[in-house]
Amino acid sequence: MQKLFRLSDNNTTVSTEVVAGITTFFAMAYIIVVNPSVLSSAGMPWGAVFIATLIAAVIGTLIMGLVANVPYGVAPGVGLNAFFTFTVVKGLGFSWQETLSMVFICGLLNILVTATKLRKMIIRAIPPMLQHAIGGGIGIFIAYVGLLNVGVIKFSPDKTSAAGANPGLTVFNTPTLILFVIGLLLTIFLMVFKFKGGLAFINKASFVISIIVVTLIGIPLGVTTMSNSINLGQAFSQLPETFLAIFSPQGFPALFSDPAKLPIVLVTIFAFSLSDTFDTIGTFVGTGRRSGIFSAADEESLENGKGFSSKMDKALFADATATSIGALFGTSNTTTYVESAAGIAAGGRTGLTSVVIAGCFALSALLAPLVSAIPSAATAPVLVIVGCMMMSSFGEIEWGDLAEAIPAFFTAIFMGFSYSISYGVAAGFITYCLTMTCKRKAKEVHPIIWGVAVLFILDFVLQAVL
């Protein structure tokens, strides 16, 4: 164990890694239920997607842990599954088999991009200021996700509003919201209060303890329930409907049968790939650099090494591979989960954390009724506190210099309010190019940043036109 994961080199222990893995799993366990619910709206069988979600998460996270030795969880992305269902299937009219085919191609493209070092070059080209902004922006995003998951922020319909609704603070008069407040107060106490002696472990395990305690408190409140328990046998019986469906007549053959649809197919694959790539890059940059998971030596190896020689190389490869594997079994794009920040905050530094996460996903197939019973009110407080911790990255930004402040601001704000890490990165890249041009320093902007900014603008234009 020590040699495989180099625990002492990363200043961690087996117990810390196990706690970190369990913490991250609980923070992202919602996807086990959410992903089948979203994709079933596209006509896919619920049980098959449930099994495919677990298989993709286990394989992707194991690759991340055993090959890259980094503490990240991999699973189907929430924003990406919504794009799959509501934009591509329901909006553009593609079948779910055709859409899975596009996801598979997206995964292959990302593997190619990783192998050709384009992804790594992008990461190296991001200036330090934007790296800090991405880290802090992810903090806003995570906290926002936590607040939305329990309905702390509500949107009241308003036809006179440009957005069609007005955001506001909800009234704390439901069991879910009351349970969230209890969980938030408990998490803050466990994090801030310094336990001594034999109780010192409570500080490190504060997230896990909070989730378990709040889940138990939710039972008498009626929030924690097993009413939506899952029949595992029935779920497995549905898997053949989605497994390798991309090679059926409704998959690749149907996707490329109409030449008139080819432009929209290419644009959709491009949109999948762009979002997936920058969700992952944003997560790695925002969490890995500050925590020391990706060290200076890793960065040097990333830039000068050959093949997959650095941890970042291997992590990017693991993320890209998982997307194609997921499409084969029947789920939308997998991505490196930003909720991994919860485990990193709990001390996770090596691939052992990922192996624990993968193990939890595997066990959840057997314990599905129990895992799916964990309410969002139990995990939301953890996400809010992790978001708070990650916002410390903003302290590294020179806010008095508008050339730094403007791109950093747009990166962070768009990341949270557009509910997308990749759109936050897009806003940051575009405004960074703009401010540097205004300062007559356009030549100092890395060509890759210019290229990616143009691609994002092209993506926005094509979305508007098509």
Return the HEC string of the chain. Answer: CHHHHCCHHHCCCHHHHHHHHHHHHHHHCCHHHHHHHHHHCCCCCHHHHHHHHHHHHHHHHHHHHHHHCCCCCEEECHHHHHHHHHHHHCCCCCCHHHHHHHHHHHHHHHHHHHHCCHHHHHHHHCCHHHHHHHHHHHHHHHHHHHHHHCCCEEEEECCCCCCCEEEEECCCCCHHHHHHHHHHHHHHHHHHCCCCHHHCHHHHCHHHHHHHHHHHHHHHHCCCCCCCCCCHHHHHHHHHHCCCHHHCCCCHHHHCCCHHHHHHHHHHHHHHHHHHHHHHHHHHHHHHHHHCCCCHHHHHHHHHCCCCCCHHHHHHHHHHHHHHHHHHHCCCCEEECCCHHHHHHCCCCCHHHHHHHHHHHHHHHHCHHHHCCCCHHHHHHHHHHHHHHHHHHHHHCCCCCHHHHHHHHHHHHHHHHCCCHHHHHHHHHHHHHHHHHHCCCHHHCCHHHHHHHHHHHHHHHHHHHC
CB of 367 closer than 8 Å to CB of 29: no
Looking at residue 97, what is its pLDDT?
95
| Residue 51: predicted pLDDT | 92
Which residue stretches of the chain have pLDDT < 50? Answer: none
**How far apart are the C-alpha atoms of 293 and 345, rounded to whole Å?**
12
Site of tokens 């890059």: 281
Q: How many CB atoms lie within 10 A of CB 363?
A: 15
Instruction: Establish how many alpha carbons lie within 13 A of residue 213's alpha carbon, considering only the half-sphere containing its beta carbon.
Output: 18
Rounded CA separation 2/153 (Å):
45
To which residue do tokens 């900014």 refer? 453
Is residue 278 within 8 Å of 422, Cβ to Cβ? yes
Phi, psi of 157 (to 5 degrees): -55, 135
d(CA 159, CA 238): 43
Supply the pLDDT for residue 61: 96
Q: How far apart are CA 436 and CA 217, in angstroms?
A: 53
